[in-house]
Amino acid sequence: MYIVIAGAGRLGLILAKKLREDDHQVCLIDKNESLCNKLAGELKSIMIICGDATYPDILKEAKIEKANVCVSAASHDEDNIIICYLAKELFGVQRTVARVNDPKHTPLYKYMEVDNPVDSTSIIARIVEEEASFTDVMSLLSIKKGRLSIVRVDIPENSPVANKPLKDIVLPHNSVLVSILRGPDIIIPYGSTVILPGDEVIAATLIDAEKDLLKSLIGKI
Amino acid sequence: MKYIIIIGCGKSGKELAQELSKSENVVAVDKSLRNLDTLGEDFNGKKVWADALDINTLEEAGIKEANAIFLLTGNDNLNLVVGKVAKRKYGVKKVVLQVNDAIKKKIFKEEGVVIINRTQLIVETLKKSIA
């Protein structure tokens, strides 16, 4: 794929390197001339363009019309919106992704038809909240911007599900037990499988059902 | 009386707000409190101290009822984004925005949106003055 990234800040840069490692063609655009010179020396296989990506001639220089995806990672939301808008309207780029700097600006991204506004602040806030509030629970993976999460739950001695077979346990809707880790064993659970205190349960859950799931597994939150 | 929103109270925004507030219902929006303060006693309207890229600000300013909106911040991209949203999402009848760049003025041309370029205006006036 050919991917154009506007903004060579921390996010833009990490992303460019990562995509390059995965063998994609990458072009990185940034306003800062000295940064561009430095990057051009360091990153031989990434095309670096110095200029303001909210101007069409700069996007043209990046051959954005050939891009499969345009990623806008600038630090001003109005710039990201304009870049994605130009990429789509003027150059026919199929997919636009942008970093949302201030969550309050997310609706404007949607009205201006940015395909995928990624609100990192809210995503991180959710992760931090999770890490901070539940010690015996760990989020292993979150999919679809955190809407689906795979969690690991340590089953305590007084858990309401301890010593019961799975078929007698009522779990909230939109959540499911994936496996049980007991010492060195990995158990794929069936209706007759019994959960023991000390087990680690791996479960998949929609974010809305997560609290209910924890309540039913641990008994408290 | 028309309901008019003015976003950006720099020099031109301020004068426009003061003038229009004599006869119309005017809301001035700026993220700088100092700019809003410069409106002074001459301004007879509502002030909103907030970020115009936040739709809560726009709705608090009454964008749903507005007959016209002026976007006069020094930030071309902000003016363009909020102007487009005012037109498309809220259907504001008259959208007038200031853009300092001639190229962007051309690209973002849209029906019902008036784009003003300060430099162009000055050049026109200067040309006329020797005609």
CATH code for the domain in which residue A146 is found: 3.30.70.1450
Q: What is the mean pLDDT of chain A?
A: 91
Range of the domain at A82: 2-119
- Indicate whether A127 belongs to any domain: no
pLDDT at A156: 87
Higher-scoring residue by pLDDT: A115, B102 = A115
Q: How many other C-beta atoms are found inside a 10 Å radius of the C-beta of residue B41?
A: 6
Kindly determine whether residue A82 and residue B80, on different chains, have CB atoms separated by under 8 Å.
yes
- Indicate whether A38 belongs to any domain: yes
- What would the pLDDT profile of A113-147 be if each residue is shown by its tens digit? 999 999 988 888 877 876 776 557 777 788 887 78
pLDDT at A138: 76
Do A19 and A113 have their domain in common?
yes
Q: Considering only the beta carbons, identify the residue of B77, B89, B103 that sits closest to A82.
A: B77
Q: What phi, psi does A165 have (nearest 5°)?
A: -70, 150
pLDDT at B60: 95
- What would the pLDDT profile of A50-78 be if each residue is shown by its tens digit? 999 999 999 999 999 999 999 999 999 99
Chain B contact for A119 (CB, 8 A cutoff): no
Kindly determine whether residue A56 and residue B107, on different chains, have CB atoms separated by under 8 Å.
yes
- Contacts of residue A31, Cβ cutoff 8 Å, sequence gap at least 6: A50, A51, A52, A53
Domains of chain B, first to last: 3-129 (3.40.50.720)
State the DSSP H helix or E strand holding residue A95, giving kind and residue range, or none if neither.
Answer: strand A95-100
pLDDT at A102: 96
Round to whole Å and give the CA distance between A71 and A94.
11
Any idea what the Cα angle at residue A58 is, between residues A54 and A59, rounded to 5°? 75
Q: What is the pTM of this model?
A: 0.80
Do A172 and A64 have their domain in common?
no
Q: What is the DSSP-derived secondary structure letter of residue B110?
A: B
Q: What is the ipTM of this complex?
A: 0.92
Judge contact between B17 and B37, C-beta under 8 A: no
